[in-house]
Amino acid sequence: MEIRNIAIIAHVDHGKTTLVDRILQTTKVFRDNQETGELIMDSNDLERERGITIFSKNAAVTYNDVKINVIDTPGHSDFGGEVERVLKMADGVILLVDAFEGPMPQTRFVLQKALQLNLRPIVVINKVDKENCRPDEVHDAVFELFFNLDATEEQLDFPTYYGSGKNGWFNDSLTQTDNILPLMDGIIKYVPPPKTNEGPLQMQITSLDYSSFLGRIAIGKVTRGSIKENQTIALMQADGSIKRNKVRELYVFEGMGKRKATEVIAGDLCAVVGLEDFNIGDTIADIDTPEALPVISVDEPTMSMTFSINNSPFFGKDGKFVTSRHLRDRLMKETEKNLALRVEDTDSADSFNVFGRGILHLGILVETMRREGYELTVGNPNVLVKMIDGKKHEPYENLVVDVPAEFSGKVIDLVTQKKGEMLVMESKGEMQHLEFEIPSRGLIGLRSQMLTNTAGEAVMAHRFIDYKPWKGPIPGRNNGVLIAKFGGVTTAYSIDKLQDRGAFFVDPTEEVYVGQIIAEHIKPGDLNVNAVEMKKLTNHRASGSDDAVRITPKLQFTLEECMEYIQQDECIEVTPKNIRMRKVVLNEEERKKSTRSMQSEAVG
């Protein structure tokens, strides 16, 4: 049976997972009466809520007697570690582009990786049913992008399909059909069969799965020879060591699941059960003539955060896993499959430095952990600085903002304050398309400020470019915060009196503790306030003093917004039920002492 391995790459929200849904439905993976719903591949709760793909996944369909392995990849550059290794399993890529937005920064990031691996591209321009879409202009922009990324002549001669994943049609012209069969025929025609070499077994482990029955499962593509059930193999690791191992069970992908197999030949993807102590990037080779494949390299992390145990007064109220041992074990387990993540011990046994690709990358990890029942404290994100030729360098990003023309001045002003430099300014219909080069530090907290200043209309995306010389200090948050002076239950009476001082993050009757951040101050500088004061009740009424209390609803911050909001002396308490911001030092007197000692050190 012939095989095709294809990865689908696209910017966030351009319709990648919907296209996979259509492929699965067209090839009758599900029975006609089976309820599948939408976004079948995004199986993780977090992926469904946010509408983004975080983990790459595999499905396999059969069309015209050809087996097509479909690999759904993340579109966000924060999950670049996931993308790079998964592309190693593919022989071709479908580049999916929105007919209005055109190629975006993240598209560029993944496409560059695919072209470097010599994968054959097919371009699909999606959402041509949308108003003011511009499929022809987008096609030209895609060609220009390929050219800028040094595509080969063969790669530049890419086939293009147009259509609408939502309405279930794709065609090689703008004529609407009633199915996606032209695209399926295109995959078989343009994606080459897997290249296989003659010789004994070689297979690289490119991703992991876990099952409570079978343990850890190694997934990859057999590049040479064949692998059999119960075969004894050599597991070749990155450090050069070779371990003898046995394949207990073999599975190939079929539909959305896996089917047991006795032998898998070169070119196909498979899952291997029974291996011990393997890592991503290891090579499974023939026991008699072991040869290793090149180790997978992944882009370096650009950001770090400190993860510690929860030491607030509300410690242990919500979570099941609260000790430093729980935290350490969970972080170490994550590094096994999350290649772009690194964990280091600190001077304290209760804290760990975690390095990742960006705020979203680290935020997803924290969110996943709290859903699993962990309690922890996370500090504010810091970019990683490198010394190059004796000079301090920091990561820079390419920032793209699409915004209605009337707000473009505000956006430029904001980004310039954060040490960004404008490279491109052009009109796209009624929208202004702006491109900047900005230090990664400048992006922290920028999204919320930008949405506030553009009435929520700005669409921003960014990707890492390179390390460049340090840009100097960047202004952080303008306003201070209001801090709880006393612990207890907040009262409507107190919050009502304090409302003119700031915008609150808590509602009346919420429990707070000393040192918790409960509101944003309207001025710079922090203020300690009493939010738990009860109204003094007397037995006579004064005219005008019993007006109804009017409380503005509290500001709800997501975890990422909290991470961008906090300053150096603040942290976030994360539990399965709550996310609270607080000062690192809860006691007011001790906070003042530590501030004074830091100031005297700075002067000294």
DSSP string of 192-230, one letter each residue: PPPP-BSSS-EEEEEEEEEETTTEEEEEEEEEESEEETT
Question: What is residue 309's predicted lDDT score, i.e. its pLDDT?
Answer: 93
Q: What percent of the chain has pLDDT over 90?
A: 17
pLDDT for res 32: 40
How high is the pLDDT of residue 30?
A: 45
- Please, where are the H alpha helices in 11-77? 16-26, 45-50
- Residue 498, pLDDT above cutoff 80: yes
DSSP H/E element including 571 = strand 570-574
Q: What pLDDT is stored for residue 55 in this prediction?
A: 43
* Secondary structure class of 175 (helix, strand, coil): coil
pLDDT at residue number 57? 60
As a whole number, mean pLDDT of residues 115-121 equals 87
Whether 497 shows a pLDDT value over 50: the answer reads yes
> Residues annotated as binding site for GTP?
13-18, 126-129
145: how many CB neighbours lie within 10 A of its CB? 19
The DSSP secondary structure of 374-413, one letter per residue, reads B-EEEE--EEPPEEETTEEEEEEEEEEEEEEGGGHHHHHH
Strand order in the sheet with 257-261: 242-246, 232-236, 283-286, 202-211, 215-224, 269-273, 249-254, 257-261
Whole-angstrom Cα distance, residue 144 to residue 245?
A: 48
Largest Cα separation within the chain, whole Å, is 97
Q: Return the structure tokens found at 239.
A: 């450090």
Give residue 295's pLDDT: 78
Q: What's the token pair of residue 505?
A: 């993050």
- With helix as H, strand as E and coil as C, how does 429-486 read? CCEEEEEEEEEHHHHCCHHHHHHHHCCCCCEEEEEEEEEEECCCCCCCCCCCEEEECC
Query: Does 546 have pLDDT greater than 80?
Result: no
Q: Alpha-carbon distance 424 to 386, whole Å? A: 28
Q: Which pLDDT tens digit goes with each residue over 369-426?
A: 988 899 999 998 888 888 888 899 998 988 888 888 898 899 999 999 999 999 988 8
Q: How many CA atoms lie within 13 A of 190 on its CB side?
A: 23
C-alpha span between 306 and 309 (Å, rounded): 10
Angle (nearest 5°) at CA 298 between 91 and 235:
75
Hey, which CATH number is domain 2-190, 1.20.1050.10, 3.40.50.300, 3.40.605.10, 3.40.30.10?
3.40.50.300
| Pair 303, 356: CB distance under 8 Å | yes
Quote the radius of gyration of the chain (alpha carbons, Å).
27
SS3 for 286-309, per residue? Answer: ECCCCCCCCCCCCCCCCEEEEEEC
Q: Judge whether residue 428 has pLDDT over 70.
A: yes
Mean pLDDT estimate for the chain: 82
Query: What class is the 386-469 domain?
Result: alpha beta
Question: Residue 35: what pLDDT?
Answer: 38
Confidence class of residue 542 from pLDDT cuts 50, 70 and 90? low
Residues of the chain with CATH 3.30.70.240: 386-469
Question: What is the reported pLDDT for 571?
Answer: 93
- What pLDDT band is residue 575 in, cutting at 50, 70 and 90? very high
The Cα 340–Cα 342 span in angstroms is 7
Domain with CATH 2.40.30.10 in the chain: 202-286
> How remote is the C-alpha of 354 from its chain's centroid?
15
Sole residue written with tokens 């022809």: 136
pLDDT in tens, 500-512: 998 999 999 999 9
Q: Where in the chain is the domain with CATH 3.40.50.300?
A: 2-190
**568 pLDDT tier (thresholds 50, 70, 90):** confident
User: What is the predicted pLDDT for the residue at 50?
Assistant: 43
Q: How far apart are CA 186 and CA 352, in angstroms?
A: 49
State whether residue 318 is helix, strand or coil.
coil
Phi and psi angles of residue 345, each rounded to the nearest 5 degrees, phi first? -75, 155
Closest CA to 121 of 90, 98, 100, 99: 90
Looking at domain 202-286, its CATH superfamily turns out to be Translation factors (2.40.30.10)
Q: Which helix or strand (DSSP H or E) is residue 139 part of?
A: helix 135-148
- pLDDT of 51 higher than 90: no
Cα 530 to Cα 205, 492, 553, 558, 582, distances in angstroms: 57, 12, 19, 25, 15
Residue 520 token pair: 């944003």
For residue 582, what pLDDT is reported?
94
Q: Reply yes or no on whether the pLDDT at 24 is more than 70.
A: yes
Does the pLDDT value for residue 297 go beyond 70? Answer: no
Helix-helix angle 181-190:16-26, to 10 degrees: 100
β-strand partners of 236: 242, 283
- The first and second tokens of residue 60, run together, are 């396999």
Q: Given its phi and psi angles, is residue 225 left (phi above 0), alpha (psi -120 to 50 degrees) or beta?
A: left
Q: What is the mean pLDDT of residues 335-352?
A: 84
Task: Categorize the per-residue pLDDT at 14 as very low, low, confident or very high, splitting at 50, 70 and 90.
Answer: low
The CA distance from 40 to 22, in Å, is 10
- pTM (global) more than 0.75: no
Helix (H, G, I), strand (E, B), or coil: what is residue 98? strand
Q: Give pLDDT tens digits for 210-236.
A: 776 777 788 888 888 888 888 888 888
Q: Which positions make up the binding site?
A: 13-18, 126-129
Residue indicated by tokens 């907290």: 445
CB-neighbour burial class of residue 37 (10 A; exposed 0-12, middle 13-18, buried 19+)? exposed
